[in-house]
Structure 1
Amino acid sequence: MKLLRHGPVGAEKPGALDADGQLRDLSLLVADFTPEWMSPEKLDALQAIDLRKMPLVPAGTRLGTPISGTRQFVAIGLNYRRHAAESGHEIPKEPVVFTKALTSLAGPNDMVELPEGSLAGDWEIELGFVIGTLARKVAVPDALKHVAGYCLANDVSERDWQIKRNGQWGKGKSFDGFGPIGPWLVTTDELADPQNIPLELAVSGITRQKSNTADMIFPVAEIVSYLSQFMTLLPGDIVITGTPEGVGLGIKPEPVFLKRGDVMTLNAGPLGTQRQQVV
């Protein structure tokens, strides 16, 4: 299934995308897509719903993040070889891990507000996934059993805060709205292989990133297993898995950063599309 949440900020309702690509409202049956709904049993129950009988979501309705109540927002850095190279880093021997503030979570088409005085805003299209069952010290062969589904993400970054403010990448990654997620969560029964998803991002009509998750250094199964060795992953946690080459920081001879009025458009095949205006 493709699960989503629709409505104003703070008042989103659960929904799903039907076979005809229409948004359906599930709020008569489900209060909200909370972490408890990410378990295999709950997701199996949703499969029994005849989406054609559910009300249509009015056209133009805002979409929020596809899950509420997330407790941890974890990110992986430098997970594509050419992105590591354009960033001036060696290929990591283990996943580079940082966190984004939960308050950075945003809907897939919400506006992205640059912080006051920002001159180094940047884009990063990424594959994300949501944990379905508690994961602690899991082995790689068992890791994908703990994933509820996959989503599109934009790891919006402010490079001055990320690089020049005494370390801690999260400083440049955690501004409000710097974590657009969605438009929907594709459950694993519909997307069994997360390592063959196209990723493409354009800024104001210029394609900046075009790659595929097949090029990831550490695939999703290895990321789940690795994280679970030193932290417990909880149902509903969101993990984003790194970006391919083509970020603004890596453009030669001079970096190109976001400016107010720019529009970022993202496409990830079955994971859907995003559109964010920079303000």
Structure 2
Amino acid sequence: MKTVLATAADARYGYQLVNLLGSVRANSDVFDEVLAFDLGLDPRQRRLLADVPGTTISTVPPFVPHWRQGRTWKTWIWTHTNADLLFWLDAGTTVLRSLADALDQVRDRGYFVVSQGHPIGDSIPSDYYALYDFPRELAGRDSIAAGILAFDVHSIFYERVIVRTHEDAIAGLSTGFSADELPGRNAGLDLADAPPVRDCRHFRWDQTILNLRFYLGVTDPVVADLDEYAGWQSSHEHPRQVIWSHRRTGDLPYLSRAPSSPAGRALGLLARMQWWRKRHERWFARATYELKARRILRRS
């Protein structure tokens, strides 16, 4: 059974991508193949990625006009990767411990999913209940993450959930934004001239349709613990935490360790230092200390 880890990023998450691959090599080197999709990396990120041992770099073709929006590209990867067992990780994650137990769960039941810690109803547009014939009493179920997911491509789960999620994405059902989030999120890969406005609190693109298909297609679903497999506040939220889902807030400790060549490691170290400064730039700004001084003077 060929076991593949897949991930992807554009330039916004390029360094997170390299950091993730470094963490996998260091802490969970259990895959037959590691596949990274370049969605628009800058030249330095691409150079770092090419220097990560055992990583195959690929791209996603423009298979539909909206392939970039709504994470439609991700569902294509899920259904077009040559694997028997596929483990998907978003680029903004770091693997802290072995993923072997999660892989064993896939072999046992055909899938592995992780809780997001909030109800799926928050991300379901009102018209999707009728469109999917989705029972409203299921709206209180735990949302599962589309960024940490594994499955057997020969399983019923794959046919009922993954394939149908991809079909929905092709139909454009993962595109659009909640009204309040449209101004800030209509950017990058998701940028669209006239995106659909979805009438729910937090429309979540591929994750919204994945959850609909998951709860329609899986009887007695098993969902892994959020803190153990997707802790987001720190890398110490659970005594056996396996994955840190930091997105763009982590310090990327594996960025300088992932490349194999001395030049690549030096480049990774430089990128990590620049990333650290960017995350802490407020401490290098004069205005930060002027504001602090004014507050102290007002109290005195």
Aligning the two structures, in what range does the TM-score lie when normalised by the shorter sequence?
under 0.3
The structure number with the bigger radius of gyration is 2
TM-score calculated relative to the size of structure 2: 0.26
Which has more helix, going by share of residues? 2
Which has more strand, going by share of residues? 1
